[in-house]
């Protein structure tokens, strides 16, 4: 995930630098059409990878559901037995135990369910 985010930032930065250099009219800097095409294709590729890597986990809950587990930066599609659903990205800063009511939209029947967000060890300082 981190590598992909870095690649997105680099691709975006290169395209931004290319645009700035081209608009500055600096006669010492030349951006070849092939270079521009490569950067545009690479940025599109990185964006597509980012969308494809976003995994979604469908979680069905009911009145008896006590806990739902989520991986850090994972995307949950939470559905209840009343036919309601919503999507949530687990982008907490630390491991968390959150009442589902706190993240669910108004009117969503969440009961007493809690969401536990698990962070991999490499995200934890000193780990």
Do 67 and 114 fall within a single domain? yes
pTM score, whole prediction: 0.54
Do 87 and 108 fall within a single domain? yes
Token couple for 95? 């491991």
Do 12 and 45 fall within a single domain? yes
Q: Please, are residues 74 and 123 in contact by the beta-carbon 8 Å criterion?
A: no
Report the CATH number that the domain containing residue 106 is assigned in CATH: 2.60.40.2280
- What pLDDT, on a 0 to 100 scale, did the predictor assign at position 17? 54
Question: CB count, 10 Å around CB of 94?
Answer: 10
Do 60 and 117 fall within a single domain? yes
Residue numbers of the domain that contains 42: 2-53
d(CA 38, CA 66): 50
Do 62 and 107 fall within a single domain? yes
- Torsion angle of C-alpha atoms 40, 41, 43, 45, degrees rounded to 10: 170
Radius of gyration over every alpha carbon of the chain, rounded to an integer in angstroms: 21
pLDDT for 3-55, tens place per residue? 555 555 565 555 555 555 555 555 566 778 888 888 888 777 777 666 655 56
Segment 101-119 shows an average pLDDT of: 94
Segment 78-98 shows an average pLDDT of: 91
| Structural domains in the chain (count) | 2
- What pLDDT, on a 0 to 100 scale, did the predictor assign at position 101? 95
Do 83 and 29 fall within a single domain? no
Percent of the chain's residues with pLDDT above 90:
35
Does 74 have pLDDT greater than 90? no
Do 47 and 84 fall within a single domain? no
Do 92 and 115 fall within a single domain? yes
Residue 85 pLDDT class (50, 70, 90 cuts): very high
Do 119 and 68 fall within a single domain? yes
Ranges of H-type helices in the chain: 2-24, 33-53, 100-103
Do 49 and 10 fall within a single domain? yes
- What pLDDT, on a 0 to 100 scale, did the predictor assign at position 110? 94
Q: Out of 17, 32, 53, pick the residue that ends a domain.
A: 53
């Amino acid at each position: 995930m981190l590598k992909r985010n870095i690649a997105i930032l680099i691709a975006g930065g290169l395209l931004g630098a290319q645009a700035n250099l081209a608009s500055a009219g600096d006669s010492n800097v030349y951006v070849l059409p092939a270079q521009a095409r490569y950067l545009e294709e690479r940025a599109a590729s990185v964006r597509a990878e980012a969308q494809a890597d976003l995994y979604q986990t469908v979680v069905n809950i009911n009145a008896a559901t006590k806990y739902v587990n989520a991986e850090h930066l994972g995307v949950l599609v939470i559905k209840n037995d009343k036919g309601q659903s919503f999507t949530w990205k687990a982008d907490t800063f630390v491991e968390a135990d959150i009442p589902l009511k706190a993240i669910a939209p108004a009117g969503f029947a969440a009961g007493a369910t809690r969401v536990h967000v698990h962070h991999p060890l490499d995200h934890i300082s000193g780990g």
